[in-house]
Structures are given as C-alpha cells and as structure tokens.
A and B are shown apart, each in its own frame.
Chain A
C-alpha cells in the first residue's frame, strides 16, 4: 500500500488515496491528522465524556484505536470550557495521545448520534426536543444541570471545540428528523446549516491545527442533498460529513442519500457518515464511497452483555452461555479472546462474561475491549480487501457470516447492486 493514487491537502490534514475498488465506490486511504495517521475506512469508538466505558487510554490504544470521539455537549457541561482551557484541551484531560473528533454539540441536543433502537431515540427526542428550540441565532435549550436557559450558537460550538482541541471538529448544523414530512422546514434547515457553516468557518480560531468538517443536510430529499453538497463543497472544508441520517429513516433511504452525496463530493477529501452504525451498515456504506463512521452501539451494547461476533451479536447474559467455555469469538485476536500463551491473552470465556455481565463493571470493560477490537478489525479487513481489489467478495462473505443461514437484508442487496456488487452471488 505504498503507492498513492492522489493526495488532498488542507492546513491540518493530508488525505492520501491508496486504492479504489474496481467494482464499487469503496476506497482505501490514509488520513494524516495532527496526532498521527489513520487508515480509512475507519470506525471511531465514542468516548462521550473523555473516557470509554472504563477502559484506560492504553487499553483503548491496544485495540488499535487511533481516532476516537468526544462529545462537545458533554464536555461543555463537564468539565466545562474554563477547565478545558486551564488544562489545555481534551487530549491532556484524558491522557490520550492520538486523534480526537468532536461533534458540534448541537446534534446531541436533538438526538443521540447513532442509529439506536427506536425506544432510545424516542425518549431522547421527547425529553430533549421539547427542551431545544432552533432559531437563526442557534439552538436554545435548558441546562440539564439546573434547568436554566442556554443558547448554543455556531460561534460557541466552535469556540468550545477549539478549547477541546480535537483534531477534527464539526460545524454546528440544523438537524431535523430525516423522516419529517415538512419539506419547507427541511429546506430551511439545510440552508441554515449552510449559513451556520459560514459562521463556523469565520469563528474557527485554529484552522492550522484543527480540521473542520461541514455537514451535508437535506433529509431524504436527494435534490436537497445535491444542492447542499454543491453549496458546502464550495466552502472547501478539509473534510465532509453526511449528517441527519441515523434518525429512523428506512435503510434504503439512508443508502440512497449516502450514494448521492458521495457522487458529488470531491474525491480527495475524507467522507464521514455520522452516527453509523451497525457492522452491516458500515460494510454497505463503504461500498457507497464513505470513509469514516462512529457509533456508541458497540460500546453501549457491551454493557448489556452483547458481544459482536463474526456470526452476529450474542447476548452473553442468556443462560445458554453459562456453560460455554469457549472464547467470545474463536480466533479473535483481542486481548480477552486470545489464549494465555499468545501475547498475554486473557482467555476469558463466554461463561465468565456471563458470570460477570451486569454485575461487575469489569464484565463491561472486558466486552468493550472485544467489541471495539472487533469493529476496528472489521475495518482493517475491509481496507485490506479494497487494497487487494476484492471488496465485493469480502462484502458477500461478511453477510454470509453475519446473518448465518439467512438472506442478506433486502436494503443491503439493493444498495450493493447499485454499485455493482451482487450480494446473492454465492462465489
């Protein structure tokens, strides 16, 4: 992978395109960020409040993670901007020497940035939407600490992210649910997001060390997405995010939006699909030309005893695992699955995770290490497949393994067909 097909440069990042899939839009690249290079496509675990579910930064590093997320909204409340300034940013706060990406803080007010199950989404929408109101000035909301009214403006969001010092920062955007039937409101939100992008760019104090990504909006309306792409690409940000997804839309709609946007985006810039997702979503989105993904699901689900494996998700709290003395996943090279004689592996069994699940924090820590490692390993395998120009075969094998004995989901079959990959082909 030493050869480079093209290079895009901004003040604080370099995007090196390394390989293209000859069938689909998948690509493999290296993104050079202020705290070191990362290989794309990438999955970024979410360390909401500057810590990832009880893992030490070294343990996170040992999963091979080199870029994780922090949430601006949470860090803005705790420890707060003043403290962040005094300490010198989030890297110093959490002792993390690799890259950090932060969201704008606005999104969390409306919806947690993941395609979480409906019940999660619904209560967040209920509890947080009723507290948040968007005007041209910014997002108004009530402080969850004391209920006092607060306002998050594009300027404030960027100022907070400047204090956090994250390597990639996101513009504040106007997000509404993609499934909203109100086209006028959707268009308003899209154009407001463009105007807010201009305000964010103007407010950005550290473009030489922090990379701002714009966020394409426009709901499920492909024309609106196209208009937004054209407007935002003009602003020439170092990277581009596709936002407003993971909000309960049909997976087929999600795929159409990603496909449309990547078709209009410059080739030599990283493309980040926010809040995605499940392994199957990522495998499809990579084929559609997306590079970066984040989701709280792999880490959150670990705390419920759910292990992500090649053959799907296993809920290790289930009684059937009480006497299953095999590793969480046979052959997994994460620290908890590795045998004792392989580089200090812990050889933890499913039975022991079952014994600890929901009873000891250590159970969650162990499974989090496996799940994060698993997601990063999935991305590593995807990258290798792209480099070796066998992504279609990789994707087919993934779906066969991950949905054992089942057909791949209809939406995935259709979306992949659109980029030349036949998931039903058995070769």
Chain B
C-alpha cells in the first residue's frame, strides 16, 4: 500500500554504494554516499554536531577554507522557541537550489546537512516523550515537539538528510518494557512519517532504529524491509551495537550512528560494528578543553604509551614554537605554534578554540582517511589492535577553563549538576572582573546587562 502512496527518491538524488564489506555478515564496511549537489562522501566518515546551526567556534568561511568537513548535524530544537511554525527559520526565502535550512545557517556547500529533532548529545528533559511528541529543550525552556510538526518542519526546511522521529529515552536507566515501548512508538512514528507524501522529495529519510535487539523489533524491521524499501534512504541508530545486530537486514542502506563516542578507541569500535557515519561531539569538547588531538590510525605495531592529545594549557608550551603536532598539515599547525595556543588559552581568547577546532577536525579527517585506507588494504583489524596498544585509553584530562557554557544548554532535571563555570576571578574587585569578562571569552549573562547599559547610554541603537 505504501509503495503506491509515497514514491521513492529519484536515484540520482541520493545513492549509497558499498565498496567493501561483506553483505552477508555484520561488520566493518566501506562505502560512498552521494547526495545531489554535494561532493560524494567516502564512508566511514564523521558528522559534526552543530550548535544553533554553526560548528562551534569556526565561522563558515573557515569551514570552507580550512577544513575538509563533509557533513553536519543540525538539531531542530536549536531553532524553535515557543511555537515551531512561528520560528524565523521557516520564513527564510531560500535561493534555489539551497534549502531554507542551508540558507538560514549559511552552511557551506561542501557540508551535507542532516536534521534531527534533538542536539547531540541531547540534554535530559524533565518531561517524557508522549505517544505523539518528543520532549525537547529550546533556548527558552523545555517543551514537547509534536512528531507531526517535526516531520512537517523537516520537509519545510529541506535538509539533505532527515532523521526519522524516534522515541529515544535519555535517562541512564531504561527498563526492558520502556525500551519495547520506544520501539513500538518509533515504528508507529516512522509509519506515519512515510504515509505523508513528502512535499520536499530532496530530503532523504534515515529511519530511526531505537536501541533494541532486532528480534524484538522484527515487525518494524520487516515493515522497513518489505513495505518502505525505497522510501527509506538510510538508518539512524542510537547505539553502536544496533548496526551489528541487523545481520543481513537492510545492509545496503547507509547507517548513521547518532552517538557520542568519547575517544578514538570508542570511535573505532563504532566503525568496526558497521556504522557508516558517526557523530563525534567529542571533537568540540576536546578543543574547548584546550587539548590538541595527537593520534593517527596508522601507528607502528611497536608503539606504546602514546598520549591521545596535548594539553596546551601546560606551561611547558609557553615558548614552544613548534606545530601542535609535527607533520600535521592543518592551518593551525602550518601557520601557528604551541606557544600561541598556550597564550590564547591563558589569555581566554576565543581564537584558541577556533584554532584547536581546525586542528582537531584535521586530525579526525586524517584518522578516517587512514581507516578507509586500511579497510581497502585489509589491515583494519591489525591496525586497530596496534592503535589500542599504542595509545592511552582516555583523552588527557582537561586542566584549564573552557568557554562559558551557554546557559540554556545545561539546564538539568534535578539541578544537581556540578557548577560548569567555576569562579576564576577574585583578586580585583567586581567591576574589574566584569571588565575582564567584557574583554574576553564568550557572552555571559552579565554582558547582557552591560549591553542594556550601553543602550541606556544611547550608544547601542541609533535607528528609531
């Protein structure tokens, strides 16, 4: 029935070709994802979660000129406030072939856009998802996003890829019963989504698979396999294991793991399980921690005790004019040095995070390139073992201050979270502290007060 109602995507709009990997069994694969208008993406590859539509700390021109990033993840909850339909992004008048989403956030052509309802990682919400809505967190507070509104919003905004709605439980402890309910709801939401004739056929749907063993969601999987094949362009998973447990179901669809692997070891595991695209929020976190990633996949089999990153807060770098990582070809390493990064961090200058993002994204792109190369050569397994032996199990612990965390991103349910922004001033009086804040770092609530003061003094606003 569904095949009559909803036409499949024209083949030239979206394609995924598996280049390497055994179809008959789960596991590592090599592929190529092509979306009209974008460069083909060799997989496995990384997807960068954005914040309010930007890759944190790097402007769009820097993304184009100084990174090789090919895909970003955008959360609808970053764009809607009280009512989804009234949010400004929907009024954007796009210039074809660009979508509303791409034009609003000025996303560079090189990046594929992937839209989902929630940020990655998502903040735990006090309210639960209901049968028809997803609990979200916007800049003005927690609320419920109707699933139909989400689907309609996605069609309107026109991302290259839309994540199918899913009932994902964000709490740590999840009962078996709740998981099954999650699978049932997701199944129903997917069915409803596909039942709607898409106005915007250019967005490819990646149906969501909640973290549950395939036998427990066999109805859902058989629906996807039999009825909706052709309408579903890919699969979104929320746990690395989901891909592996699919066995030989839907293996020709690309799998996007919306996960938060916290270091390259975990990332390797996610890839080895057969995920083609992986979100990697830990890159931005590493940059904000003042740490330059220092690892490569093709490491020698003898290497031991290597650190995964360099803490640039360390005073040892104060006069070190060598690149962050020797041999790294990124802008930061070729034009700047450790001493500058150390200075920028201790001076709380925003450029520190910018330069670290450029470097860390470059390390990640190199890492994925080396992984793909090893798959082609059939050495992935050996090299993964060598990598595990060579490097420390964790990223170095941060020793310095990151950017002030944007208030609305850290609202928590119980309020029991540790204070994210420690007090770092204290010797000068309060006014000097405000001055220092006004001169560096990111916007803070106090600055909003200052901005109002400026307006009061007649300087903020000349018009009207």
Residues of A near any B CB (own CB < 8 A):
48-59, 74, 78-79, 82-83, 86-87, 92-95, 112, 117-120, 123-124, 126-128, 144-147, 296, 300-301, 303-306, 311-315, 317-318, 322-323, 325, 335, 340, 344, 346-349, 351-352, 354-366, 369, 402-404
Contacts and interface: CB of A to CB of B under 8 A. Distances in A.
11 contacts: A53-B351, A54-B351, A56-B354, A93-B339, A112-B435, A119-B457, A304-B450, A322-B88, A352-B106, A364-B350, A366-B59
B427 A364 contact: no
Interface string B309-333: 0000000001101000000000100
A319 B367 CA distance: 43
B347 interface: yes
Interface of B: 51-62, 64-66, 79, 88-89, 91-93, 95, 98, 103-106, 139, 318-319, 321, 331, 335-336, 339-340, 342-344, 346-347, 349-351, 353-355, 403, 406, 408, 427-429, 431-432, 434-435, 438-440, 442-443, 447-448, 450-451, 453-455, 457, 459-463
A49 B427 contact: no
A365 B59 contact: yes
B435 A124 contact: yes
Q: Which of B55, B88, B92 has the most CB atoms of chain A within a 10 A radius of its CB?
A: B88
Contact of B104 (A55, A304, A312, A352): A352
A378 B161 CA distance: 43
Q: Which of A49, A54, A82 has the most CB atoms of chain B within a 10 A radius of its CB?
A: A54
B319 A83 contact: yes
A59 B61 contact: yes
Given A325-B91, A360-B54, A361-B403, A56 B435 contact: no
A144 B59 contact: no
B138 to A, nearest CB: 12
A86 B450 CA distance: 38
A74 to B, nearest CB: 7
Contacts of B431: 123-124, 126-127
A286 to B, nearest CB: 20
Nearest to A321: B88
B454 A304 contact: yes
B49 to A, nearest CB: 13
B463 A362 contact: no
Contacts of B91: 323, 325
B432 A128 contact: yes
B79 A355 contact: yes
A49 B454 contact: no
B39 to A, nearest CB: 16
B190 to A, nearest CB: 30
Contacts of B92: 325, 349, 351
B337 to A, nearest CB: 8
A300 B351 CA distance: 15
Contacts of A53: 350-351
Contact of A304 (B61, B429, B451, B457): B451
A349 B60 CA distance: 13
Given A117-B453, A304-B447, 13 more contacts: A49-B349, A54-B349, A56-B62, A56-B331, A56-B351, A59-B62, A119-B457, A124-B432, A126-B431, A127-B428, A306-B454, A351-B104, A358-B447
A120 B52 contact: no
A349 B336 contact: no
Contact of A355 (B53, B343, B457): B53
Q: Which of A57, A83, A322, A361 has the most CB atoms of chain B within a 10 A radius of its CB?
A: A361
Contacts of A145: 427
Contact of B351 (A51, A325, A349, A354): A51
A355 B52 contact: yes
Contact of A340 (B62, B95, B139, B408): B95
Contacts of B349: 49-51, 54
A126 B432 CA distance: 9
A92 B403 contact: no
Given A126-B431, A335-B61, A315 B106 contact: no
B350 A344 contact: no
Q: Which of B89, B318, B462 has the most CB atoms of chain A within a 10 A radius of its CB?
A: B462
Given A54-B351, A78-B347, A348-B106, A312 B451 contact: no
Q: Which of B59, B408, B440, B457 has the most CB atoms of chain A within a 10 A radius of its CB?
A: B59
A410 to B, nearest CB: 15
Contacts of A94: 340
Nearest to B90: A323
Q: Which of A83, A87, A354 has the most CB atoms of chain B within a 10 A radius of its CB?
A: A87
